[in-house]
Structure 1
Amino acid sequence: MSEDFISSQEQFLKEKVSQSDLEQMVLGKQKKFSGLLTREAAMKLVAFDEGFVQQKRVASRPMKLSSLKDGDYVTAVVRVKQINCSREFERDGRKGKVSNVLVGDDTAEKTLVLWGGDADFAERKLERNACLRIENALVKNGELHSNLYAKLSLEENPPSVLPDYFKPAVPLSHAREGEDFFARIITKGRLIEFERNGEKRFVLNLTVADDSGEKTLVCWNRNAVIVNFLTEGDVIKVERVSANNGELQASWNTHILAHAKNHSLKELEFTPLSQMKEGNAFVQIILTKLFEARVSRKCQSCGSQVPPEEEKCNCRGSLREVFFITAEATDAFDSSSKLRLVIFGEQAQDLLGLKQTLVSPQTIFDLKRPYLEGKTFKLKALAKKREDGRIELVAKQIRSW
């Protein structure tokens, strides 16, 4: 930030507020942004709030990375070489997120530090060799830092002089330390939260597969949180995977891109209902009839069903209540193939949009029935045999509707 800009904004503020009030306002801004703002940046926000509108002196044309100087606000067009997993933190009771991205042009390589929403951009949009335009980045300690005024965008027509960081993805069976690969999520474990050295940590296990085979991928911390929002069948790109005794891990230096494109994986295959056997399968069905929505009350000791009017089981065992929906599912590609479908728990509640309400679940079910019947769903289901020998489907994960 240029000295004349700082001087002009300070002069503006001195004419508007007292020195003591100014200091309190600056401290207030720094506290609001979890202590991440320098005094100059906080003062700039205060000045903006008070009506100071002078524009920053920003380079109108992209600058070369080798020519950057600390304190400058710059525009740069770069290639992405490496994306580290975002790190979440808490400071003064406020949560934040930061991600380090190694970028380069034809003159140098620099670390791009992305804060808050800009770290979200890195998680959702960036991958190795992407061309990135960043406007109004602050040069600090030789690094580029995003800030409240920075703007990130992907460049569709990158300059030819930029370096090429492309690295071909390998088959999953050949994935080793530092490799990139595409894979489809086959099964997703439970997100486990734990504490280490006073910090909150997360871990989640995936089973992933491509045409070459199937492997376990252990995802840590922010990577675990990201994949927890995905569903079985989704495609991910894993950049710079870690390997520990043959086990693949997504650690702090691994970048996971959700809903990855430009891959050569086979499309998700749906099993026809007419060919359904016991086990897990992906199916595409039409909900042709919705039968009922109710709560099952089952004794956890003896397994008996307990009527609604009874408070306890005769064996005095504790009860487990589960909300579920029963329906008729028709194969989306073969209207003659139909199976009974059961949807339990949160999936059933999500299907109805059921939240805490005074209206009974059956009433909401009756209201939603005309809307849901006839709709097409993609889901992962467990096919199991009933006592009469017929196959029924239990929804494990509804992918889309």
Structure 2
Amino acid sequence: MDAGLRQQLLAKSAWSEQELAQKIEEKQEKFAGLLAEDAAIELLAREQGLEVKKEKSTPQFTPLASVEAGTTANVRARVLHVFALKRFEKNGRKGKVCNVSIADDSGPATLVLWGRDCAAADSLERNDAIEITEGLVKNKNPLEIHSTLLTQVKRVAAESKTAAVAEIKDLQEGTEADFFARLLELSEEKEFDREKNGVKTKGKMASALAADDSGQVRLVLWDENAELARRARPGDAVKIESGAVKKGRDGSLEVHLGWRSRAVLNPRAHGLREREELWKAKYAEKKIAEAAEGDVVLLYATLAEVSGCRIVRKCRSCGVSVNVHEQKCSCGSEELRDLLVLEAKLSDPSGSARAVFFGREAMHVLGVNKVTIDPQTIAELKAEQLSGKPIKLIAQAKQGNVSGEKEFVAKHVL
């Protein structure tokens, strides 16, 4: 920071050096220590009505080993490891943080991203080259560079360093692996209670089925990684980084994504086959009349009509249906969830059949993100728009409980 701005601030405010030092300290405390002295002076100057002119210049980059604690620094580095996002609550305020292990030729460091800056990690992959400008050097040993209001992190073109990626068929129990895959199935995100050292917290979990040309594997997504179940759709490409390969209850391998792991949605240069090819390789494409009871098939059909839409309430603990006016299940659990159910009629050249869509698959068909009015009203408003619309889905054929006729339960709308 230009020393002249400090003198202008002292003259404008009539503060003493001691008072200015106190103001700087208060400003830094307000930002949880994530504000360098020069940035604090700049904010104070703006508050006093001073015009802060910042000349645009080419930043000078410093090797990681040469940066000094308590200063801001510009550095270039490689991404070694992106850890899962963490959410926290402190002094009644909620926040989030994401740690990124980085290194250059002079040594390693940890980039600590706070709040909105965590979004910068979403597009980063292992071995990416990045530039960090105006990062606050918080600690020297071990070296930590924290994001502040002025920090920018961007991926830059550099000599490619390809990280080793595995194929699903080569995954081995007890290892951590990086691999590309497409999502075949996604479960809904679930919450659960856990206790550690006498402290009770809420955890989240979801699962997914992922595949590449060599095979498929179940992904078990924990806590913030479980949000993938809400953000992704079947067919999306993912890159798993540092997935922990474990043996599941049925003896098959699973890949667990905890705090050390992450899933990069729609990564660059994944080289996977197109999703359409994947569907056809995984599921038999059949006409409505050809699907036998129990078959999970790929259907290309038309929405002949939308017949009904409603909310059902389910118990998260035991899975039974609960009256929508009740707040407690007969099993005693108060952990309930509301599920949207859409009923429709599908047709193709071979015939027609009833189909049922649940949860977000129902919302996907209706083209809504949330339900804020009566579901049947939504269906009636959308009926004309949806009638005759082509639809592609993975569905299981079954015999209707009431009609006894063939119907389909949609697993995924593609």
Say if 1:321 and 1:101 are closer, same or farther in 2 by CA, change over 3 A. Answer: closer
Post-superposition offset of 1:119 = 1.6
Post-superposition offset of 1:69 = 2.4
**Structure 1 segment 133-172 matched on structure 2, within 5 A:** 133-141=131-139, 142-155=143-156, 157-158=157-158, 160=159, 165-172=161-168
2:307 pairs with 1:291:
yes
Q: 2:68 matched to which residue of 1?
A: 69
Q: Structure 2: 5+ residue runs without aligned partners?
A: 248-252, 315-319, 326-336
Q: 2:257 matched to which residue of 1?
A: 250
**Alignment partners' CA distance in 1, 2:87 and 2:233:** 23
Q: 1:326 matched to which residue of 2?
A: 343
Say if 1:14 and 1:172 are closer, same or farther in 2 by CA, change over 3 A. Answer: same
2:171 pairs with 1:175:
yes
Say if 1:81 and 1:376 are closer, same or farther in 2 by CA, change over 3 A. Answer: farther
Instruction: Read off the aligned partner of 2:355 and give its amino acid letter.
Output: L
Report the identity percentage: 30
Contact 1:169 1:180 in 2 (8 A): yes
Post-superposition offset of 1:94 = 1.5
TM-score (norm 2): 0.72
Q: 2:279 matched to which residue of 1?
A: 269
Contact 2:285 2:297 in 1 (8 A): no
Contact 1:227 1:258 in 2 (8 A): no
Please point out which of 275, 293, 296 is paired with 1:280: 296
1:179-210 per-residue CA deviation (whole Å, 9 max, x = no partner) reads: 21122333334423323333443333333333
1:307-339 per-residue CA deviation (whole Å, 9 max, x = no partner) reads: xxxx9xxxxxxxx997643323356xxx66654
Please point out which of 205, 220, 223 is paired with 2:222: 220
Contact 1:273 1:339 in 2 (8 A): no
- Kindly report structure 1 stretches of 4+ aligned residues shifted beyond 6 Å: 19-26, 56-59, 295-298
Post-superposition offset of 1:233 = 3.4
Instruction: Read off the aligned partner of 1:272 and give its amino acid letter.
Output: E
**Alignment partners' CA distance in 2, 1:392 and 1:49:** 67
Post-superposition offset of 1:100 = 1.6
Q: 1:396 matched to which residue of 2?
A: 411
Instruction: Read off the aligned partner of 1:149 and give its amino acid letter.
Output: L
**Alignment partners' CA distance in 2, 1:88 and 1:241:** 20
Q: 2:213 matched to which residue of 1?
A: 211
Paired residue secondary structure (1:120): helix
2:40 pairs with 1:37:
no
* Length, aligned pairs only: 368
Contact 1:63 1:75 in 2 (8 A): yes
Q: Say which is worse superposed, 179-188 or 387-396, in terms of deviation.
A: 387-396
Instruction: Read off the aligned partner of 1:69 and give its amino acid letter.
Output: E
Instruction: Read off the aligned partner of 2:303 and give its amino acid letter.
Output: L
**Alignment partners' CA distance in 1, 2:310 and 2:190:** 28
**Structure 1 segment 23-34 matched on structure 2, within 5 A:** 27=26, 30-31=29-30, 33=31
Post-superposition offset of 1:391 = 3.4
Paired residue secondary structure (1:179): strand
Q: 1:259 matched to which residue of 2?
A: 266
Instruction: Read off the aligned partner of 1:170 and give its amino acid letter.
Output: A
Post-superposition offset of 1:27 = 5.0
Contact 1:58 1:75 in 2 (8 A): no
**Structure 1 segment 95-106 matched on structure 2, within 5 A:** 95-106=94-105
Paired residue secondary structure (2:279): coil
**Alignment partners' CA distance in 2, 1:336 and 1:369:** 23
Q: 1:195 matched to which residue of 2?
A: 194
Q: 1:129 matched to which residue of 2?
A: 127
Say if 1:378 and 1:44 are closer, same or farther in 2 by CA, change over 3 A. Answer: farther
**Alignment partners' CA distance in 2, 1:321 and 1:248:** 29
Q: Structure 1: 5+ residue runs without aligned partners?
A: 312-319
Q: 2:78 matched to which residue of 1?
A: 79
1:346-366 per-residue CA deviation (whole Å, 9 max, x = no partner) reads: 644562646333xx5444433
Post-superposition offset of 1:115 = 1.4
2:364 pairs with 1:381:
no
Please point out which of 232, 235, 240 is paired with 2:237: 235
Instruction: Read off the aligned partner of 2:97 and give its amino acid letter.
Output: V
Q: Say which is worse superposed, 235-244 or 192-201, in terms of deviation.
A: 192-201
Instruction: Read off the aligned partner of 1:367 and give its amino acid letter.
Output: L
TM-score (norm 1): 0.74
**Alignment partners' CA distance in 1, 2:413 and 2:48:** 50
Q: Say which is worse superposed, 52-61 or 203-212, in terms of deviation.
A: 52-61
Aligned-pair RMSD on alpha carbons? 4.1
Contact 2:310 2:341 in 1 (8 A): yes
**Alignment partners' CA distance in 2, 1:279 and 1:12:** 80
Q: 1:316 matched to which residue of 2?
A: none
Contact 1:382 1:396 in 2 (8 A): yes
Paired residue secondary structure (1:265): coil
Say if 1:389 and 1:151 are closer, same or farther in 2 by CA, change over 3 A. Answer: same
Instruction: Read off the aligned partner of 2:279 and give its amino acid letter.
Output: E
